[in-house]
Structure 1
């Protein structure tokens, strides 16, 4: 059994080494379009929620098909969405849909998502009974996308996923798109455009009506033979490392049992990912070396068997299920005397699994969720400490929890900022979370915040400025430079944190509708920017405060948090404060008498929040 687990870990790592050579995906774009066929009585707000977009974005790409601010039924809307490589197999994106009573895979595919997905894809990425999906269950909706084909043309690099409907044919679609019919057929070889079902890929235009050319591949200058040779060398090195590690491992006594590492018993480490980290447990200590390739520490104290996890969750029963994420479900369990949350991930999510495992085995902080262990038998499992009170989004946007007092909101903001400051300032290399939002901030029994969900984390070298990367994350929290160009730096997290500050004040969603007409729908950033620009910003901000707070909040404190949110969400990333400066500002605000080190670089931010 131990050998089997070791081999599974090895082949999982082997998959990552070979990814660029063996992957069936040919990634060449960050954004694609979904052609959504609008059914009667379906509002633009509902469509934006289903497609994880915003009303403003949809309008900007569909001005010709929207009359008087509202979409016309039986028309198509082109809606942008991230185009990612899913499981190394195909290009697509996984949307999260909250099921309604009576939903089935068939109704979700054909009605709710207008044939953009299929029943087969829904079955593959979900584990529900196809005729009995629970109400409010999180359903993974996978939509395919395309980035083009350089052998057909390099003039087109952004494509529409276009579901075929009765009456469609190749020439009508080509005429509507003002494209050559033969070109469309070459992009969709062997496809019958008149079959009235399935999807095809059509070149799309940007907001200015222009076609986006196919981006050159990052490895275009690397010969295929060289790439294969490099990968083979990496595989051989990894194989040798695994043999050595497991040879040493099996020299240890069989049946040795170790306790789970806890915050009190674990020696925190800020070692470089390419180095090693030491864990001290009760009565024993051990050192596990992480490879520079994957950063995964295969430590015995963190391994679980499938049998142990299945027993603790009653075979992953619905009674133990406490959540559903983009790549799997979360279950409650008690393991070896400790309350835990077990994330069960599909094998297709190996990239996210490895990323989170890499981060949380090297980065330890009170304000970051603690990883206890993992398992790679059958599926991919991550075992975390159990956080009693759910996430911040449930407190702010849900109905089943008591409203957080203002002092608690400020404390959670400070806790979250400290967690992010730690991964930005105190780790080598620097980690960028890339999906900071209220749903990824957990609340413990003492109403303290912990940052969670590191599956999209990116790392950069210390002193590095920005990277260019594929678009992932959540609409409403993405800064302009990332959403438009894929530029990534720690200031991406700063922007998203600013949106969270606005959420803490208002309990509103990051993208919301502020009135009856579509024109009044806007992002939370724009809403607060407008309020702060008024002649009396205090009164304007007061109108945005969560009504559940009543009058139990100091308006000066609320205004300062709003001003801090504004600093975080500036369009120019160079003008945003660092997480270090944000921590100092929040410390000053939450405890004015506390001794704070104000020697950080953004002194203007400290002045902004000082008592006047």
Structure 2
């Protein structure tokens, strides 16, 4: 890691005296930039959690907004509301090695947190860069937003070598990048911490039902109910932190009881926009797969959940005009109702895709482990971003493992679930996949069915987006699998548990003969 002398050498004009820094001075801090979890370019810092700290404070005051509280939570086993004092936490920071399609002339990049009052023009003038070049390296970024990260191109290494070898060698060599941190004296930090107030955050969450449920279970409503801000505050005891049950891509989610039947989508527009939606009390897919004490899902239920989720994605990809891209598909955003049917949730990061432009450049958002290469590297968004993430969810359904698999809670000993399965799915011996099947399934599954889901997941997570299937094709494949699995489950049940010698159950247009 950089020494004080290293930092001084990177800041000859900003630091005249290393023992007397002016408050709020931006300084350059060199950090190693490598491939983290086979997912994105960045570096993981270690930080000792202090009394009174929160992930939000660590991100804002200790790391000057070069990371976010959501990112920190994703890279730690601690819940954001229950981090013990003195715990060592991981703090991820993004970096960039550029985009050769924009320019091959730049090697070093500054990870730059935007501040209020800045703009594309002011930043380009400060760094003596053209606005087109700066925007090209940061597609889709609003430079006037006052928050978020941008990457500032600079020179300092052989740019041609960086452009040609960054992706191939980034895991083997350390690239020197510049990281802008805003220096603040400890007194300023303490005062800012004391003055920090809990703000009412925008609660933005939505759910969409799939799978052909009855109207009673559909979750689709023709009318919405308008609530007052006072009602929402009362239902959550003035947005008390104890009522927070989750954090979505665009805000936090509170649990509260309101008048009437809160199955209708409702809203409140008073200062901020609040969306009110039905509370799915059976949890999300991640909770059912890992460590929540819930009964393990049967294989047929997992296939049905995959089909329900795929239908939801197919709808926003194929049947809305303009097309929507979810951008944060993961097991935690797939809700399970009382009938174990799936609802895709949390559209806080959803993005419109105009028909004239099938590839949308944008800033990096979402969840590590579910991002495809073209998105993590270039920020390009197409519906195939959702397809890739859905493939990761399929691997989760098979293995019950998280998208990023860590040993001993160590980031250094972690692998993406996609690469873990690639090692097995590509082997000549197809039985090797048994090593990754969730042990909670026991022998209550068809190995051929598991293999087919794994092959589908492999296709969905193909490195090249143009070779991934559409969600329409995924739905067709899962419909076939679901039908076959449903028939097998009935046969399995009859052999082990059915008390009668024989019988026939009608399933749609198919029949299953039950014998023992």
| TM-score, normalising length: structure 1 | 0.49
**2:106–2:153: 8 Å Cα contact kept in structure 1?**
no
Cα distance in structure 2, aligned partners of 1:495 and 1:109: 33
Q: Secondary structure at the match of 2:270?
A: coil
> Residue 585 and residue 103 in structure 1: after superposition, are their counterparts in 2 closer, same or farther (change >3 A)?
farther
**1:435–1:493: 8 Å Cα contact kept in structure 2?**
yes
Report the alpha carbon displacement of residue 265 of structure 1 after superposing the two structures with TM: 8.7
Query: Aligned runs of 1:424-435 on 2, under 5 Å?
Result: 424-435=317-328
Of the three residues 331, 345, 349, the one matched with 2:254 is 331
Which residue of the partner structure matches residue 11 of structure 2?
A: none
Which residue of the partner structure matches residue 283 of structure 2?
A: 390
Report the alpha carbon displacement of residue 415 of structure 1 after superposing the two structures with TM: 0.5
Which residue of the partner structure matches residue 19 of structure 2?
A: none
Q: Secondary structure at the match of 1:335?
A: coil
Report the alpha carbon displacement of residue 505 of structure 1 after superposing the two structures with TM: 0.6
Which residue of the partner structure matches residue 494 of structure 2?
A: none
Gaps of 5+ in 1: 1-32, 38-46, 62-77, 81-94, 127-132, 149-153, 163-185, 189-200, 213-261, 270-278, 282-300, 341-370, 596-612
Deviations 1:377-405 (A, max 9, x none): 24432111111122112222333322222
1:116 and 2:116 aligned: no
Report the alpha carbon displacement of residue 430 of structure 1 after superposing the two structures with TM: 1.1
1:481 and 2:374 aligned: yes
Of the three residues 30, 52, 73, the one matched with 1:104 is 52
Q: Secondary structure at the match of 2:339?
A: coil
1:321 and 2:249 aligned: no
> Residue 430 and residue 117 in structure 1: after superposition, are their counterparts in 2 closer, same or farther (change >3 A)?
same
Of the three residues 588, 591, 597, the one matched with 2:480 is 588
1:466 and 2:359 aligned: yes
Cα distance in structure 1, aligned partners of 2:55 and 2:327: 33
Cα distance in structure 1, aligned partners of 2:29 and 2:375: 20
Deviations 1:180-218 (A, max 9, x none): xxxxxx769xxxxxxxxxxxx995879986489xxxxxx
Which residue of the partner structure matches residue 447 of structure 2?
A: 555
Deviations 1:208-256 (A, max 9, x none): 86489xxxxxxxxxxxxxxxxxxxxxxxxxxxxxxxxxxxxxxxxxxxx
Which residue of the partner structure matches residue 401 of structure 1?
A: 294
**1:374–1:383: 8 Å Cα contact kept in structure 2?**
yes
Which residue of the partner structure matches residue 497 of structure 1?
A: 390
**1:389–1:442: 8 Å Cα contact kept in structure 2?**
yes
Report the alpha carbon displacement of residue 320 of structure 1 after superposing the two structures with TM: 3.2
1:544 and 2:436 aligned: yes
Deviations 1:111-166 (A, max 9, x none): x9993148xx98xxx9xxxxxx84169x9x99899999xxxxx967831469xxxx
Aligned length: 357
Cα distance in structure 1, aligned partners of 2:227 and 2:214: 19
1:307 and 2:254 aligned: no
Which residue of the partner structure matches residue 469 of structure 2?
A: 577
Query: Aligned runs of 1:77-88 on 2, under 5 Å?
Result: 79=43
Cα distance in structure 2, aligned partners of 1:101 and 1:332: 28
Cα distance in structure 2, aligned partners of 1:397 and 1:524: 15
Report the alpha carbon displacement of residue 494 of structure 1 after superposing the two structures with TM: 0.8
Deviations 1:289-310 (A, max 9, x none): xxxxxxxxxxxx4321011112
Cα distance in structure 2, aligned partners of 1:547 and 1:460: 40
> Residue 160 and residue 576 in structure 1: after superposition, are their counterparts in 2 closer, same or farther (change >3 A)?
closer
Q: Secondary structure at the match of 2:246?
A: strand
Which residue of the partner structure matches residue 304 of structure 2?
A: 411
Report the alpha carbon displacement of residue 337 of structure 1 after superposing the two structures with TM: 2.5
Cα distance in structure 1, aligned partners of 2:411 and 2:229: 50
| TM-score, normalising length: structure 2 | 0.57
Report the alpha carbon displacement of residue 418 of structure 1 after superposing the two structures with TM: 0.5
- Superposed CA RMSD: 4.9
Cα distance in structure 2, aligned partners of 1:561 and 1:584: 12
Cα distance in structure 2, aligned partners of 1:265 and 1:447: 15
Gaps of 5+ in 2: 1-27, 74-79, 99-104, 114-125, 129-151, 165-212, 488-516
Which residue of the partner structure matches residue 54 of structure 1?
A: 36
**1:512–1:521: 8 Å Cα contact kept in structure 2?**
yes
**1:432–1:457: 8 Å Cα contact kept in structure 2?**
yes
> Residue 326 and residue 588 in structure 1: after superposition, are their counterparts in 2 closer, same or farther (change >3 A)?
closer
Which residue of the partner structure matches residue 374 of structure 1?
A: 267
**1:146–1:161: 8 Å Cα contact kept in structure 2?**
no
Deviations 1:26-56 (A, max 9, x none): xxxxxxx99679xxxxxxxxx99xxxx8344
> Residue 402 and residue 57 in structure 1: after superposition, are their counterparts in 2 closer, same or farther (change >3 A)?
same
